[in-house]
Amino acid sequence: MTFSLDFPSLVSQYGYLAVFVGCFLEGETILLLASYAARRGYLDPWLVWAVAAFAGTLGDLFFFWLGRRHGRWVLETLPRLRGKITWALVLIENHPVKLILLMRFLYGLRIALPIAMGMSRIPVQLYVPLNFLSALLWAAVIVLAGYLFGAAVEVWLDELGRYEYWIMGALAVLVLVVHGVMRRGGLRRRRAGSGR
């Protein structure tokens, strides 16, 4: 019995689910990979965009609800988010509409911002439509970036095809050199720690 991994089938079968789960949480990496897969013909780029926008909207609605209903609990339970949420609350006071529209592009605050918005005085009637518009724009930008990146990579790989073996050899040597340097550094630290 032989086992073979059929990458195109896996992507076609589970790609949209991966986009949904990834974009519900934060999602840029998954969405870029899915966009590249769409460029290669494994996924439909329009469906990737729709799933990403829908999941991003739901995810941020969930975090908004979490902030509105359980904000104090989040601050007490997740100290890692406390500083980000406190800072986000100050920003929200001055620029609520801009932040709702741009929050997905503010890396590092993707979860803290919707929680903080839920804890703020932003009305649900304002947050929901702007959140949806933000998700549509964000998904479009990331999908387009991944798709164009895929096109550039294809051209680049075609050009590099003639030098493939040289590149692979150079990468192998680079990995060995880095491994050797890291190993020597580790030995020096151990010797210094043992007092030799």
* Residue 185: predicted pLDDT: 60
Distance CA 22, CA 159 (A): 33
- Asked if residue 117 lies in contact with residue 128, where contact means CB atoms within 8 angstroms, the answer is no
- Asked if residue 115 lies in contact with residue 85, where contact means CB atoms within 8 angstroms, the answer is yes
Average pLDDT of the residues in 41-47: 91
Judged by average pLDDT, the poorest of 84-98, 121-135, 155-169 is 155-169
Q: Which helix (H) or strand (E) holds 166?
A: helix 164-194
Which residue ranges make up each domain of the chain? 7-155
Average pLDDT of the residues in 38-58: 92
* Residue 158: predicted pLDDT: 63
3-class SS shares of the chain: helix, strand, coil, % to 5: 85, 0, 15
Q: What is the mean pLDDT of the chain?
A: 81
Q: Which helix (H) or strand (E) holds 121?
A: none
Q: Is the pTM of this model over 0.95?
A: no
